[in-house]
Amino acid sequence: MLRLLLIAAVLAAGWIAPASAQDMTARCKAMAGLNAAAEARLVTLKDGPTKIIAASVVAAAGDLPEYCKVEGVVAPNIGFELRLPTTAWNGKFLHSGCGGYCGFIGFDRAHPALARGYAVVASDMGHRGQTWLFAYNNIQGEIDFGFRATHVVTVAAKEIIDVFYGKRAARNYYSGCSTGGRQGMVEAQRFPYDFDGLIAGAPVSDETGDGMLFVVWNPLANLDKNGKPIMSPKKLPMIHAAVMAKCDALDGLKDNLLQDPRKCDWKPSEIACRSDRGGDDCLTRAEIGVVEKIYSGATNSKGEPWYFGMQRGSEYTWTPEFIGPEGRPGQWLDGPSSFGEEFATTLPFFYDPAIGTKAGTYDWDRDPPRRGLTEHLYNAQNPDLRTLKKAGAKLILYHGWDDDQIPPGLSVDYYETATRTMGGPEATMDFFRFFTVPGMLHCAGGPGGGEIDFLTAIENWVEKGQAPEQVIVHRLVDDKPGPRPVHPLKAGQFDRSRPVYPYPAQARYKGTGDPDVAANWERAP
């Protein structure tokens, strides 16, 4: 008891002397019962009043060291968990983003950082439960999810780290993908002093646009005027094969991957049927229209573009989300509580329509402009990154070309716009680099592989001044959901490695050697 009282007194003073592992364990237990002075330090945090509600020691296991699990809340309703290594802290901090709806606290993407000794934090983004309905007539929930939660949880975590270790982290990093990617881009644009380095993958940087103009548009593209599916998913392998037959060898190797799908000029009319009676090896006029709509992306009634479409080479990903099982709509619109219907009911509009409103009732001329009322809550599309550059921070953006949930064209357009805004490629690449990954799905996986050690890349850039001239993508043998693997990968964990160069550069096979070994590829001239 005396030991705990002494530790609490030291915590209140705001510093901690070097301690043994036993002392760190006792210190962790004391975190849940801070005295009035120490608790007031957190409760009175500007912009983010914080309360610790539990603390416990978690034993070392597998790749992970022993750590102190601190659970807390930032007012009014943002839950978080901070994991503090007790014996192997490397002096650094990483905030790990969430995904999709959020509404839970997950550490799968923080696993490699914690294994290296980082203090890591993750939050539920201000709500519990994995459904977009949290945002229905809930402006505080939308504010927290849109832009506030990541920042205030970061502020709180830095303060708790100072209380626990007696000093602040020497370096602060952020890493996330999908919604987590958007969190990273929000931080880069709105809170550029929070982190020294940020990794943002496949960001939903236009949250309101993605929900209406991608999630809804693509499955609607395969429905006729009566709501019946037009094209069978059985046609997709044939379409994909036709694309690859024409464009696969553009990078010097036939490997069922496109280094840059935009260079592929294949058109669905090239496999048109001779009549509308159709066939298994051709497309009818209606089916051609479906494919063209998914490639082109959402438009108004005049055919003028609203949004980005899917890339050529991604056809194998179109089912079940866009092209549903035989005779059924795409999965994103199939059912009363489908992903698309929930999205349509909550995020795009400031004044939410009635729950159960069907996405098919969208007016593609009048409804998209209404997103202006909510885009400033959610979106991260400001290309002016002068303050981030002034702060000395580094930013890595990445996106898979075969992503079927967030169109890669969104990230390409942002990077190109930011490059022009910041004064050209040289002025941009000294602090911001973008990697497009061939054959990568949403955040991970895919025939091209999706496992990249971006954490080492951002560390080397921030701490050693070594800008990433390339990264290596690995195709995992077993790329299953769950904690990401710890790098360097071991033999047997992957069956392919290839280089990926900063956009717009691409990789090219040298012509000799195993094409599944990164050393046999080079930067294309």
pLDDT tens profile 381-411 = 999 999 999 999 999 999 999 999 999 999 9
Q: Half-sphere exposure of residue 316, counting CA atoms within 13 Å on the CB side?
A: 16
Strands 78-85 and 67-74 come out as: antiparallel
pLDDT in tens, 440-452: 999 999 999 999 9
- What pLDDT score does 7 carry? 41
In this prediction, residue 4 has a pLDDT band, given cuts at 50, 70 and 90, of very low
3-state secondary structure of 435: strand
Residue ranges of domains in the chain? 210-376
Please state the pTM of the whole predicted model.
0.94
- What pLDDT score does 343 carry? 66
Distance of CA 330 to the CA centre of its chain: 23
Structure tokens at 14: 């705001």
3-state secondary structure of 399: strand
Structure tokens at 101: 């709806």
3-state secondary structure of 326: coil
Identify the residue with better confidence: 335 or 43.
43
Distance CA 194, CA 294 (A): 38
In this prediction, residue 337 has a pLDDT band, given cuts at 50, 70 and 90, of low
The DSSP H or E segment spanning 264 is: none
Our CA angle for 141, 147, 149, nearest 5°, is 65
In this prediction, residue 26 has a pLDDT band, given cuts at 50, 70 and 90, of confident
Distance CA 411, CA 409 (A): 5
pLDDT in tens, 43-55: 999 999 999 999 9
In this prediction, residue 2 has a pLDDT band, given cuts at 50, 70 and 90, of very low
Identify the residue with better confidence: 14 or 323.
323
Q: Residue by residue, what is the 3-state secondary structure of 166-208?
A: CCCCCEEEEEEECHHHHHHHHHHHHCCCCCCEEEEECCCCCHH
Distance CA 453, CA 140 (A): 36
Q: Which residue has the tokens 């050690």?
A: 453
Q: Residue by residue, what is the 3-state secondary structure of 27-49?
A: HHHHHHHCCHHHHHHHHCCCCCC
Distance of CA 118 to the CA centre of its chain: 20
- What pLDDT score does 283 carry? 97
Among the listed residues 422, 456, 522, the one whose alpha carbon sits nearest the alpha carbon of residue 189? 422
Q: Which residues does 61 contact at the CB level (< 8 Å), separation at least 6?
A: none
Q: What is the mean pLDDT of residues 359-378?
A: 86
Q: Which residues does 257 contact at the CB level (< 8 Å), separation at least 6?
A: 248, 251, 313, 438, 439, 447, 448
Q: Which residues does 231 contact at the CB level (< 8 Å), separation at least 6?
A: 222, 283, 286, 287, 290, 291, 323
Question: Does the pLDDT of residue 117 top 80, yes or no?
Answer: yes
Distance CA 269, CA 277 (A): 16
Q: Which residue has the tokens 């550059």?
A: 389
Distances (CA, A) of 207 to 213, 314, 377: 10, 22, 9
pLDDT in tens, 477-493: 998 888 999 999 999 99
- What pLDDT score does 185 carry? 98
Identify the residue with better confidence: 62 or 34.
62
Q: What is the mean pLDDT of residues 98-116?
A: 94
